[in-house]
Amino acid sequence: MTKGRNLWVRNIRPLGGEITDILILDGEIAETCTDVPETTEVLNGAGAIALPGLINAHCHLDKTRWGLPWEPHAAGPTRDERIAADREMRRGLMASTKERAAALAGHCAALGTSHIRTHVDVEPEFGLLAIEALLELSDEIADRVSIELVAFPQFGLVTNPGTAALMEAAIKLGASLLGGIDPSSIDHDRAGQLDAIFDMAERTGAGIDIHLHETAEEGAASLDMICAHTKALGMAGRVTVSHGFCLGTVDEKRLAGLINAMADAGVGVVSYAPGDSPVPPVKRLVEAGVAVGVGTDGIRDAWTPYGNGDMLERAMMLAYRSGFRRDEDIELALNAVIAGGAALMGLENHGLAPGCAGDMVLVNAETLADAVTARPSRKAVIKGGVNLMAASCL
Ligand SMILES: [Zn+2]
């Protein structure tokens, strides 16, 4: 049994329930607390709520300026202007990708994020530099936060020759998923981009996560095609649409059809609860059986000055943007940060049940809704049975 990965977490309220203890043995939650090894460290939760590790299902660790001096936002208001500003900024910062990503990932871990899915730019000008930096970081920081990589064609796929080959090479190196972006409005070739991504997925066995900012019918047509390809290849549960702004901008009849198609094909969605763009109807999606996760998207980068990596805050933003007021609705937003993210990332051992990984966050709050709305400071953050705060490794 690995020393230091046994932890007896006492006097906690799992997901706001009755007070109890949870024993973590060798990094995994034990069936009972009846057989506690003598050397086990004890952590007294003193009535705190215990949450499973929080999941950031959509981030851009390679783009962040976290840890660098503040820089005023310089990009224009359109998506294309932000992409151009991003490219310009990255030219000066590519060498420090690992350092910047490490600063942000460590900060997220300290706030209780146990898993991050990060999209990582892949394109001919930068090659696989960012992928290599993030793969190294993923290994080095795995005892604090688990990082999963998406090979992301930020600057286009069909219109940016050489990108597809680099994406496939990124999967061979260790990235888990293939990304995509606005196949109609970026590449102006919906079928071309989506065919290329799904063909690569079939060859490599990688999952898929596609940025879809396209709104209204343009986005709906792309989503239809993503669902059809997912179903045709039997990729249920392994395809995610990020943002899905179109789900908040089509009429009722079209929306109902899209939700049915997503549920039928097994396509999930991640929202970051943007301040100035449509948010998908998350309650309706969850009720239809669609996996809904939550991400931060970029944090303090060329796209946005906002973000602090706190997934409790992001749950609050999703609830707030969705107009949620009742406890059960606010809990739904929190659940998207936990079970929803776990479903999208295929984490079968995530949670507080016996056999799950010993990842846990303790917060002082009365209820789950209180924890989301107040976003209290973290009382303890546990990863694989190690209390990261006590270990002073954050
Ligand atoms: Zn993104």
pLDDT digits (tens, 9 = 90+) for 11-32: 999 999 999 999 999 999 999 8
Out of 82-91, 129-138, 287-296, least confident range: 82-91
Residue 393, in any domain of the structure: no
Whether residue 177 is found in the same domain as residue 65 = yes
Whether residue 158 is found in the same domain as residue 279 = yes
pLDDT of residue 270: 98
Whether residue 163 is found in the same domain as residue 121 = yes
Calculate how far, in angstroms, residue 59's C-alpha sits from the geometric centre of ligand 1: 6
Q: Is the pLDDT reported for residue 393 higher than 60? A: no
Whether residue 227 is found in the same domain as residue 96 = yes
Q: Is the pLDDT reported for residue 310 higher than 90? A: yes
Calculate how far, in angstroms, residue 211's C-alpha sits from the geometric centre of ligand 1: 6
Domain coverage including residue 59: 54-344
pLDDT of residue 276: 85
**Distance in angstroms (rounded) separating the CA atoms of residues 319 and 308:** 17
Helix axes 216-232, 252-265, angle to 10 degrees: 20
Whether residue 71 is found in the same domain as residue 84 = yes
Residue 343 has which token pair? Answer: 């479903």
Q: Is the pLDDT reported for residue 133 higher than 50? A: yes
Total structural domains in the chain? 2
Q: Residue 1: pLDDT band by 50, 70, 90 thresholds?
A: very low
Whether residue 174 is found in the same domain as residue 37 = no
Query: What's the CATH code of the domain at 369?
Result: 2.30.40.10
Q: Is the pLDDT reported for residue 143 higher than 50? A: yes
Whether residue 88 is found in the same domain as residue 124 = yes
Mean model confidence pLDDT for the chain: 95
Rounded to whole angstroms, what are the CA distances from 316 to 16, 48, 84, 94, 372?
A: 17, 19, 31, 33, 5
pLDDT digits (tens, 9 = 90+) for 82-127: 888 888 888 888 889 999 999 999 999 999 999 999 999 999 999 9
Residue 1, in any domain of the structure: no
Calculate how far, in angstroms, residue 9's C-alpha sits from the geometric centre of ligand 1: 36
Helix axes 190-204, 163-173, angle to 10 degrees: 30
pLDDT digits (tens, 9 = 90+) for 322-361: 999 999 999 999 999 999 999 999 999 999 999 999 999 9
Residue 374, in any domain of the structure: yes
Whether residue 24 is found in the same domain as residue 74 = no
Calculate how far, in angstroms, residue 213's C-alpha sits from the geometric centre of ligand 1: 9
Residue 67 has which token pair? Answer: 């840890």
Q: Is the pLDDT reported for residue 392 higher than 80? A: no
pLDDT digits (tens, 9 = 90+) for 46-75: 999 999 999 999 999 999 999 999 999 988
Mean pLDDT of 255-281: 95
Calculate how far, in angstroms, residue 80's C-alpha sits from the geometric centre of ligand 1: 14
Residue 394, in any domain of the structure: no
Residue 299, in any domain of the structure: yes
pLDDT of residue 394: 44
pLDDT digits (tens, 9 = 90+) for 350-390: 999 999 999 999 999 999 999 999 999 999 999 999 999 88
Calculate how far, in angstroms, residue 294's C-alpha sits from the geometric centre of ligand 1: 11
- pTM here is 0.96
Calculate how far, in angstroms, residue 264's C-alpha sits from the geometric centre of ligand 1: 25
DSSP-derived secondary structure for 151-170 = EE-TT-STTSTTHHHHHHHH
Residue 392, in any domain of the structure: no
Q: Is the pLDDT reported for residue 4 higher than 80? A: no
Whether residue 216 is found in the same domain as residue 260 = yes
Query: What's the CATH code of the domain at 171?
Result: 3.20.20.140
Whether residue 281 is found in the same domain as residue 355 = no
Mean pLDDT of 254-273: 97
Calculate how far, in angstroms, residue 44's C-alpha sits from the geometric centre of ligand 1: 38
Mean pLDDT of 216-224: 97
Calculate how far, in angstroms, residue 224's C-alpha sits from the geometric centre of ligand 1: 20
82/392: higher pLDDT: 82
**Distance in angstroms (rounded) separating the CA atoms of residues 260 and 288:** 7
Residue 203, in any domain of the structure: yes
Whether residue 329 is found in the same domain as residue 361 = no
Whether residue 71 is found in the same domain as residue 21 = no
Mean pLDDT of 32-49: 92
Q: Is the pLDDT reported for residue 317 higher than 50? A: yes
pLDDT of residue 391: 61
Residue 368, in any domain of the structure: yes
